Amino acid sequence: MSPRELRRTAERDALEKLQASSSIFRFQADGPAPDSYRMLFNGSGLCRQSGAVSRVEILDHHAWELKLPSSYPEAPPLMRWETPVFHPNISFAGFLEPVGIGIHWLPVLTLDVLCERLWDLVRGAYVDLENPVNRAAADWYLRQREFNIPVDTRPLRDLAQARCANIFRYHRKEGTARKFESTANQDVFFIGEDSPVPVLARPLISPGPAGDDILYIGDDERPA
């Protein structure tokens, strides 16, 4: 397998991990080492249909296509929005480049990182008003008061954050352990009376003089 094929395979693996950690992101691609993708965001974003009098609205489904040129990863991917999106740093036709959204492309950058920035664009969490390609969108962002920005507060890896919420519980009941059932996306740790007590090293910091912001927990005797 060539270095280019290895890179494309690794990119797909990273996007599959991103998809597993997100309720927002989905992608479509053919083969284990694709050079083109169709990306989907299921979340709130700002859009405006064609027409000078069209209102800015919330759209809950967003699609964009991404293609890897023959010179990738030295050259950045090519991207174009399929659904209408209203943003100062995305052209009205839906085209955008990494440098235009605050990313100076390097070969070490990966597509999953790029997806996180594009989700921030859709929901309005990233806006560069000093270098707009859509001046009408930039003017609207400066004066709008209708929407709370970002219009969707979730990070792209929203499921990964939920899995990191560890729950610690302690319950005393007649000297016996009570089992707590694990809930979705939570790790439950139980500590009971029969739990082993670890041998702790003696503290290395002795109590400071009165007035110091030091909380000392340990033996009554000052450490040697």
CB 159 within 8 A of CB 24: no
All CATH 3.10.110.10 domain ranges of the chain, comma separated, are 3-153
Give the C-alpha separation, 28 to 168, whole Å: 39
Task: Give residue-wise pLDDT tens across range 59-87.
Answer: 999 999 999 999 999 999 999 999 999 99
For 172-201, what is the mean pLDDT? 45
Q: What is the mean pLDDT of the chain?
A: 81
CATH class of 3-153: alpha beta
Give the C-alpha separation, 92 to 101, whole Å: 15
61-96-79 Cα angle (round to 5): 65
Is the pLDDT at 98 greater than 90, yes or no? yes
Task: Give residue-wise pLDDT tens across range 113-164.
Answer: 999 999 999 999 999 999 999 999 999 999 999 999 999 999 999 998 665 4
CB atoms within 10 A of CB 41: 26
Give the C-alpha separation, 144 to 153, whole Å: 18
**Higher-confidence position of 201 and 39:** 39
- Alpha-carbon 7 to chain mean position: 22
DSSP codes joined into one string, 81-146: ESS----TTS-TTSEE-GGGGT----TT--HHHHHHHHHHHHHTS---TTS-S-HHHHHHHHH--S
Give the C-alpha separation, 156 to 112, whole Å: 10
Is the pLDDT at 23 greater than 50, yes or no? yes
* pLDDT value of residue 52: 56
Is the pLDDT at 185 greater than 90, yes or no? no
What pTM value is reported for the model?
Answer: 0.71
* pLDDT value of residue 21: 97
